[in-house]
Amino acid sequence: MPQNRSLKGIAVAPGLAVGPVHIVRAALDEVPTWFVREDEVPLEIGRLAGALMGVSEVLAQQEARVAKEAGPKDAAIFAVHRAILEDPGALRDVEKTIRDTRVNAEAAVQKLIEHLERTLGGLDGNNLRGYAADVSDPWRRVLDMLLDRDREEVHRSNGRVVLAASELTPQVVTYLPRERILAVICEKGGRFSHGAVLARSLGLTCVIGVPNLLGRLEQNMPVAVDGVLGTVTLYPSEEDLARFGEEEQLRRTRAEAVAGFAAEPCQSSCGKRFVAQANVESLLDLETFDVAHTDGIGLLRTEFLYMERNQFPSEEEQYRLYRRVLEQMGGRPVTMRTLDIGGDKPLPYFKTPPEKNPALGWRGLRISLQWTDLLRVQMSALLRASVHGDLRILLPMVGTLEQIDEARRVFDGVRSQLAAQGYDVAADVPVGVMIEVPSLLFCLEAVLERVDFVSVGTNDLVQYLLAVDRDNAWVAGLYEPMQPPVLAALERVAETARRVGKPCSVCGDIAADAVTALLLAGLGFDGVSVAPQFLGELKYALRSASAAEARDFAQAARRLGTAKEVRAHLAERRRALHNRLGGAAAKG
Ligand code: PEP
Ligand code: MG
């Protein structure tokens, strides 16, 4: 009897899926190598050319399909991959390997892939590894084509499958048409990798960071994937499947019941308003929610606009993009964060140096202040767009007061320059900072003197407070936002901001949990910003309690000594909310 095992990974995109695994061998361990006679060399070079042409055609088809399903920006990566294959230098290298060492085309392509991964991926840091994956991925496709892998078989069949791969890349996510993919599960990849963005855009259930996943799978093995809990269950038993079915039914009923709340104002039962904004990661996200259901955009990660192309966007391109978002939001506030690349968010065309500790290295505002031209161009585009809506600018990865002063100097300089050039700029463009580097917790008054608002980035704040890498599956169990010191930090931010009368919110992922959002309201935050699909449940939870009840709920959490106790406190509330919802749904 096969062993039933539940593997824990990192949840990337929600949903439940049960089905057979299809392993995408995007990372091949062994490639057959054989020697070819001299007269066979042209044949091998011909096979290589045929495979290259075949892959280019498939990429073009994928580009067209993704453009239709997800939009042209998400499809652009396939054009980049085609361009990588057209690089004459790489092709010359592979042909030379075939000719000089008389090996088959597969082995020569594998040699190139290894070279790319050694020189790029061997460098430390998720960002560079991600870049290496992007550059070598199209060549893996050529290898796959040459090896005539089982793709043809899976393409010919009609069943839906759970795609399993070593690393979450755009190729994996689009390996099959959307309707054939039940879920995507991977060993590696960043929560904000390009593949993750695409998985969310396409609405695929996705779990990553499952250690040794491929070693435990075999082709067609039945699995059950939970994109909320971040689990993959191998050989689910009858009981597992029954539980899964119940959970699915429950989630569907709940989702239907809370959907109605999305259109309601976000406020406590006593009428106190709580700001509910949306996080936006790509332009496509803007099409997925009703603007009228939000209090604006609380976090627009502009780096994703940079990541979805193959060179830095010009000021004009940025201006048009920012203007479009502001106009689309119809006068609602739009908080655009300046470029936050580095760490786990690489740009394929901007190589950052190898770093031992990328999360502690050259990223966010640190890059912008060193490459001030980048910041100037972005600020200029933002300020020019400011007349088309209600723009706020947010600075990421701030750790010192000097950085705020410096960024403000750039901001003021750009504003004066635009005025001198005759551009219109909104009279008031608030500037805020992300609270995600713990040093700011100890100079909050001085921070708040310098900025108009703060937004807590708990994704990073938790990793830095607890010294736990947010993308490392091996320490995922230690990444615990409900640790009492994290709550103490959050309370400190909310209390200080309140005292000095400046707005404060949370845009990190913890706020997407409705009960945690209630806790944040009780701690004194003015609002949160979450992925739009969570707004209905969030409003439902907030509307279930008066402001005083939310405060009591938060204070009770603050008196608890361990994360386990805090979680239990939240779970109790969640159960009560779900029960009420069940009743409401039944009555409705
Ligand atoms: C955060 O750190 O919480 C945050 C919102 O920023 P990002 O996840 O983009 O680092
Ligand atoms: Mg962050």
Per-residue pLDDT of 30-66, as tens digits, reads: 565 666 778 878 988 998 998 999 999 999 998 998 8
- Give residue 245's pLDDT: 92
Is 294 contained in some domain? yes
At residue 124 the predicted structure's pLDDT band, cuts being 50, 70 and 90, is low
Hey, which of 433, 459, 486 would you mutate to test ligand 1's pocket, going by the most ligand atoms within 8 Å of its Cβ? 459
CATH number where 187 lies: 3.50.30.10
Kindly give the distance from the C-alpha atom of residue 426 to the centroid of ligand 2, in angstroms, as a whole number.
27
- Give residue 467's pLDDT: 95
Ligand nearest to the CA of 299: 1
Contact 286/345 with Cβ under 8 angstroms?
no
* Ligand 1, atom 6, residue with closest C-alpha: 457
Distance of CA 418 to the CA centre of its chain: 33
Ligand nearest to the CA of 508: 1
Residues 410 and 489 in one domain: yes
- Give residue 540's pLDDT: 96
- Give residue 521's pLDDT: 98
Q: Which two tokens stand for residue 155?
A: 């393409």
Range from 51-65, 270-284, 375-389, 570-584 that averages highest in pLDDT:
375-389
- Give residue 360's pLDDT: 93
Is 257 contained in some domain? no
Residue numbers annotated as active site: 194, 507
Paired sense of beta strands 275-280 and 527-530, if any = parallel
- Give residue 356's pLDDT: 86
Is 337 contained in some domain? yes
Ligand nearest to the CA of 337: 1
Residues 123 and 225 in one domain: no
Kindly give the distance from the C-alpha atom of residue 61 to the centroid of ligand 2, in angstroms, as a whole number.
35
- Domain closes at, from 183, 218, 237: 237
- Give residue 257's pLDDT: 86
- Domain closes at, from 213, 237, 261: 237
The mean per-residue pLDDT over the stretch 260-284 comes to 91
The minimum-distance atom of ligand 1 relative to the CA of 507 is: 5
Range from 31-45, 156-170, 331-345, 363-377 that averages highest in pLDDT:
363-377
Ligand nearest to the CA of 398: 2
Number of compact structural domains in the chain? 3
- Domain closes at, from 93, 121, 147: 147
Whether the predicted pLDDT of 126 surpasses 80: no
Task: Compute the distance between CA of residue 508 and CA of residue 519 in angstroms, rounded to an integer.
Answer: 14
Ligand 1, CB within 6 Å, residue ranges: 299, 301, 340, 436, 457-460, 507-508
Residues 302 and 405 in one domain: yes
Per-residue pLDDT of 60-102, as tens digits, reads: 998 998 888 888 888 888 888 999 999 889 999 999 999 999 8
Contact 278/297 with Cβ under 8 angstroms?
yes
Per-residue pLDDT of 447-460, as tens digits, reads: 999 999 999 999 89
Per-residue pLDDT of 180-226, as tens digits, reads: 999 999 988 767 566 776 787 677 899 998 887 877 877 688 999 99
At residue 264 the predicted structure's pLDDT band, cuts being 50, 70 and 90, is very high
Q: Which two tokens stand for residue 51?
A: 């495979």
Nearest to 74 by CA among 343, 372, 283, 216: 283
* Ligand 1, atom 7, residue with closest C-alpha: 459
The minimum-distance atom of ligand 1 relative to the CA of 509 is: 3
Kindly give the distance from the C-alpha atom of residue 305 to the centroid of ligand 1, in angstroms, as a whole number.
16
Task: Compute the distance between CA of residue 588 and CA of residue 530 in angstroms, rounded to an integer.
Answer: 27
Whether the predicted pLDDT of 28 surpasses 50: no
Is 562 contained in some domain? yes
- Give residue 201's pLDDT: 64
Hey, which of 12, 197, 297, 301 would you mutate to test ligand 1's pocket, going by the most ligand atoms within 8 Å of its Cβ? 301
Residues 126 and 165 in one domain: no
Lowest mean pLDDT among 142-156, 536-550, 568-582: 142-156
Kindly give the distance from the C-alpha atom of residue 281 to the centroid of ligand 2, in angstroms, as a whole number.
13
Nearest to 342 by CA among 323, 359, 318, 317: 359
Q: What is the mean pLDDT of the chain?
A: 88
The minimum-distance atom of ligand 1 relative to the CA of 461 is: 2
Residues 187 and 209 in one domain: yes
Q: What does the DSSP 8-state code read for residue 422?
A: T
HSE-up of residue 305 (Cα within 13 Å, Cβ side): 22
Residue that is written with structure tokens 């290298």 in the block: 93
Lowest mean pLDDT among 235-244, 285-294, 568-577: 285-294
- Give residue 586's pLDDT: 37
The mean per-residue pLDDT over the stretch 271-290 comes to 87
Does the model's pTM come out above 0.75? Answer: no
Nearest to 536 by CA among 252, 286, 265: 265
The minimum-distance atom of ligand 1 relative to the CA of 396 is: 6
The minimum-distance atom of ligand 1 relative to the CA of 303 is: 9
Contact 244/236 with Cβ under 8 angstroms?
yes
The mean per-residue pLDDT over the stretch 414-434 comes to 97
The DSSP result for 535-566, as a single string, is: HHHHHHHHHTS-HHHHHHHHHHHHT--SHHHH
Kindly give the distance from the C-alpha atom of residue 461 to the centroid of ligand 2, in angstroms, as a whole number.
7
DSSP 3-state of 492: helix
Percentage of residues of the chain with pLDDT beyond 70: 90
Is 152 contained in some domain? no
CATH number where 338 lies: 3.20.20.60
Backbone angles phi, psi at 236, to 5 degrees: -60, 135
Number of Cβ within 10 Å of residue 255's Cβ equals: 13
* Ligand 1, atom 4, residue with closest C-alpha: 457
- Give residue 346's pLDDT: 73
Residues 276 and 174 in one domain: no
HSE-up of residue 76 (Cα within 13 Å, Cβ side): 14
Residues 69 and 166 in one domain: no
Contact 444/491 with Cβ under 8 angstroms?
no
- Give residue 4's pLDDT: 53
- Give residue 308's pLDDT: 67
Kindly give the distance from the C-alpha atom of residue 360 to the centroid of ligand 1, in angstroms, as a whole number.
14
Q: Which two tokens stand for residue 169?
A: 């890349």
Residues 417 and 295 in one domain: yes
The mean per-residue pLDDT over the stretch 398-427 comes to 98
Is 230 contained in some domain? yes
Percentage of residues of the chain with pLDDT beyond 90: 55
Residue 190 is part of which domain span? 5-33+157-237
Per-residue pLDDT of 435-449, as tens digits, reads: 999 999 999 999 999
Is 254 contained in some domain? no
Per-residue pLDDT of 481-505, as tens digits, reads: 999 999 999 999 999 999 999 999 9
Residues 6 or more apart whose Cβ sits within 8 Å of residue 5: 216, 233, 234, 235
Hey, which of 307, 340, 455, 486 would you mutate to test ligand 1's pocket, going by the most ligand atoms within 8 Å of its Cβ? 340
- Give residue 127's pLDDT: 56
Residues 142 and 177 in one domain: no
* Ligand 1, atom 3, residue with closest C-alpha: 457
Contact 258/293 with Cβ under 8 angstroms?
no
At residue 1 the predicted structure's pLDDT band, cuts being 50, 70 and 90, is very low
Residues 504 and 355 in one domain: yes
* Ligand 1, atom 9, residue with closest C-alpha: 301
Residues 444 and 319 in one domain: yes
Kindly give the distance from the C-alpha atom of residue 344 to the centroid of ligand 2, in angstroms, as a whole number.
10
Compute CA distances 442 → 215, 407, 437, 555, whole Å: 46, 20, 10, 22
- Residues forming beta bridges with residue 273, ordered by sequence position: 267
Is 564 contained in some domain? yes
- Give residue 24's pLDDT: 77
The minimum-distance atom of ligand 1 relative to the CA of 191 is: 8
Hey, which of 434, 506, 529 would you mutate to test ligand 1's pocket, going by the most ligand atoms within 8 Å of its Cβ? 434
Residues 340 and 379 in one domain: yes
